[in-house]
Amino acid sequence: ILDGLRIMMVVLLWILLPSTTTGIKLDGNGYVDVIIAISSRVPQDDTLIDKIKEMVTEGSFSLYDALNKKVYFREVTILVPPQWNGTNFTKARTESFGKVKRIMPFYLASYGVEPYTNQYGECGAEGEYIHFTPEYLLNDTFIQLYGSRGIVFVHEWAHLRWGVYDEYNRDKPFYHSNSHIEATRCSEKTGGQFFDVTAGGSLQPCRIDPQTSLPTKGCIFFPNRNQITNCSIMFSPSLDPVTAFCQKNKHNYEAQSMLNKKCGKATWTVIFEDSVDKDALQTLKPLESPPPPPSFKVVQRTQRVVCLILDVSGSMAGPRILQQRQAATHFLRYIIEDQASVGIVTFSTSASTLSNLMTIDSDITRENLIKLLPNVASGSTNMCLGLSRGLQVLQEDNGDVLGDEIIFLTDGQATDNIAGCAPSAIQSGAIIHTLAFSNSAAHALTEMANKTGGIFLAPNDNIISNQLMDAFASLSLSTGDYTNKPVQLESVGARTSDWFNGTVSVDQTVGNKTSFVIIYEISLPSIFIQSPSGSIYTQTNMSNDDLYKTVTLKVLGTAEPGDWKYSIQTTSNQAFTITVTSQASHDVVPPIIVKTHMNQQFNDGTKPMTVFAEVSQNYRPVINAEVWATLESETGLTHTLQLLDNGAGADAFKDDGVYSRFFTKMLNGRSSLKVRVKNQDGQTRFAVTYVPGYVINGVVQLNPPKPPVSEEPLEVGNFTRTATGESFEVKLSGTTPLNFPPNRITDLSAEIQEDTVLLSWTAPGEDLDQGTAKSYEIRWSFDLDMLRSSFSNGHAVNTAGISPQKAGSDEKYSFNLSFPIQNCITVIFAVQSKDNQNATSETSNIAQASKIPPGPPGVSNPCINLIILVISVCVETMVICFIVLVTRRAVKLRKRFAERKVALTIANKFQINPYA
């Protein structure tokens, strides 16, 4: 593993990044505020910048052609790593590698070169980023394997921007249609041939699986390099004639593609009716002439420059000022990177500078900054003075604040008009992270974070929740290299008068700079921490700060991998929290990380919210983990959800390392999000796409072998992680409790066994993917279009025997139709579900099943042979009938001719007119 990682060139990420407005947007016909960021793990290669420009420029013209000349890429920013040297790099403003629109990988490509899009939302929802590798961009031989970079870029852009899914399906590459075997593709006019490639590289006819009557695994559809159709980009952008997205009249609704499964619509329909750009695209007029090439700007972010602006007004007195001190201490001691510059400002009635910018060059510097943190609070809350003073401190290093960071914490409504000074702070070019430490903090805090690429957090002051510690711990700024970033292994609290016990699993990807920080409420407890090998650490091995009620254990060297157990004993009833952080154990092995967020930062109750958590290691998905999300309102009410990676309900793909769940128990006000991950049997999984060859002039020509990719699961061992997401706000319009129907079923499958139909799907819930639905309605038809567009007109299946199971369960239902199922017949099925209020779900994905009789050896499709046999018999019968008719006609004509000859002879003899 280590050898592979040492030679690996990591990644490029395409980032949706809020700038001084709201991120990527259409300005007229051109996309602007587009950011491409290069990971700091990528060695400097200026050719890479040129290749990026070439790809985007080509993609801009391809996009212009593909979308009826309506849109193109106008302005693009390339963010290069801090260690790259160049005189033409300008200073980054709010551009940041870590401020991805959101998170989570689609399919692994870290060990391969294939581009992919981090996409996991519902149909039409924006993706997270596009992933490229330097090797893909620099090596032109991959153009043969994947297609021109510009059109591939447009393919991925459709995923990212418009929430379109692929028009192929790796799991179901073939299906039956009218007794034919078809490749899963769009359009159906995309021609090609089926072959199995042997280990030696030769081609042989595909074999048929007797259970499915479809080609066995390993059978490949080789498309014709030159097609009669120009769509679709979402099936295969590598085909030369393909320049368009599939529209409604050309879309293949039968194919078991991911697009049909998730959307049930043509790509063009999703783009123009469901995407974030739908309104603009419907009103934009096509350009009268081709657009100009995109303009590019190359920017660079150097070492972090951060100013803490801390509220010390009277409402912060007591427990709040203590928690602020504890959390800021944790940030300065364990979170902020070496060589970063940090200043500290406080504000109340007036503002004060506690520390000008200091470079973090040693532990002594960190501790000196910690000593300056405020201890007392009094006066009013003048936020504008604090902002102004903080910006002045940030200007000290180079005269401007571009790309510098502010961490702004306040607990109350400002006595000044914060809305009046917020615009100037937003326009300053600084990234502003805001922490609203109460439910009365000004809403301008949210705006400042959103418009500057910062993070908004609303921690409450409940000691047990540990939210302020978590908030500060989440304020790191990624460069794409997680080997030098702190990872939070545990963050948990409890109130007890006895024992507080727990286990933290340290896996092999972490262990350096490991610390256990215990915060207590009243009096120093007895603390015991046991390593996996049995070593016991007590207070004698720890540092204790009585004034700030904090006990810390710093593990020397690299912490042992395995389960670390902690036990805290107290005789007085008090609250405790424990926070455990660590860093990567090797500088070439990125650690397992967890990222979490809600799909919306604001909700009015009309739509459900979705919780997402990504568990990954070096962009590889970690599967089989136990993931729990805690959503806590500003009033202290909590709701806990187990997030699932089952490909059903809110979860887009099974086993992609993205764990999801709908959140329906929304309450008015701000809420926080925290995720805890436990793992006892985790694995990582790999998946790549590869075009093995094409049919050219009727002959299959194989491409070079695909780039080497390890597809074996990687055991990661036991681990624990916690992660904090940005806070979100709910403002319900009424007092009626929220009620959502069951979620749409997206994994319905059908199979015909003799005369029995077997349907399988994942159970929806009473409210989306939670609880238990009341009933199912199943309908079938021979007409896919009819069932898709008019579910109620399909034939009903008796579902009295189905008792819905809990959401997430595997449902199976077998039944007989009202007629014998003949061979070579395809039947279409769909499902709806209802809740206790009879609210009905959307119609499921369309599933189809064919009854194909087993054929003799060498027969690839018995139905086709049966049809040929029937046709042959019919033709032979028609020929025989034709011969009989011709013979009978000839006999009759001969007889009539003989009779007429006799009549003429008699007439001549007796001189009679034969026609009289």
Token reading at 476: 């790191």
Q: Are strands 219-223 and 192-197 parallel, antiparallel or unpaired?
A: antiparallel
Torsion angle defined by CA atoms of residues 694, 700, 704 and 710, in that order, rounded to the nearest 10 degrees: 80
Sheet containing 510-520, strands listed edge to edge, beginning at the edge strand earlier in sequence: 487-496, 574-584, 510-520, 550-554, 543-545
Task: Please say whether the beta carbons of 436 and 403 come within 8 A.
Answer: no
The C-alpha atoms of residue 527 and residue 565 are separated, in whole angstroms, by 11
The CA distances from residue 721 to 53, 236, 596, 677, in Å, are 38, 39, 12, 5
Nearest to 479 by CA among 38, 9, 134, 5: 38
* Side chain identity, residue 668: N
Alpha-carbon torsion (148, 151, 152, 153), positive or negative? positive
DSSP 795-855: EEE--TT--PPBTTPEEEEEEE-SSPPPTTEEEEEEEEEE-TT--BPPP---EEEEE----
Query: Which residue is associated with the tokens 């160049």?
Result: 86
The C-alpha atoms of residue 151 and residue 232 are separated, in whole angstroms, by 11
- Contacts with 794 (C-beta within 8 Å, 6 or more apart), sequence order: 779, 780, 781, 786, 787, 828, 830
The C-alpha atoms of residue 586 and residue 483 are separated, in whole angstroms, by 7
Nearest to 10 by CA among 102, 132, 103: 132
The C-alpha atoms of residue 178 and residue 187 are separated, in whole angstroms, by 16
Task: Please say whether the beta carbons of 643 and 597 come within 8 A.
Answer: no
SS3 523: coil
What are the helix (H) ranges across 434-505? 444-452, 467-473
Q: Are strands 305-311 and 341-347 parallel, antiparallel or unpaired?
A: parallel
Rg (CA), the chain: 34
CA 270 centroid distance within chain? 18
Q: Are strands 30-32 and 543-545 parallel, antiparallel or unpaired?
A: unpaired
Token reading at 914: 């034969």
- Contacts with 147 (C-beta within 8 Å, 6 or more apart), sequence order: 236, 237, 238, 239, 691
Task: Please say whether the beta carbons of 655 and 687 come within 8 A.
Answer: no
The C-alpha atoms of residue 487 and residue 504 are separated, in whole angstroms, by 13
Task: Please say whether the beta carbons of 413 and 444 come within 8 A.
Answer: no
Q: Is 156 a catalytic residue?
A: yes
SS3 72: strand
Neighbours of 819 (CB within 10 A): 8
Burial of 882 (0-12, 13-18, 19+ CB in 10 A): exposed
Burial of 390 (0-12, 13-18, 19+ CB in 10 A): buried
Nearest to 603 by CA among 740, 775, 773, 729: 729
The C-alpha atoms of residue 411 and residue 50 are separated, in whole angstroms, by 48
The dihedrals phi and psi of 51, each to the nearest 5 degrees, come to -65, -40
Task: Please say whether the beta carbons of 116 and 654 come within 8 A.
Answer: no
* Active-site pick, 58, 95, 126, 156: 156
Hey, which residues are catalytic here? Answer: 156
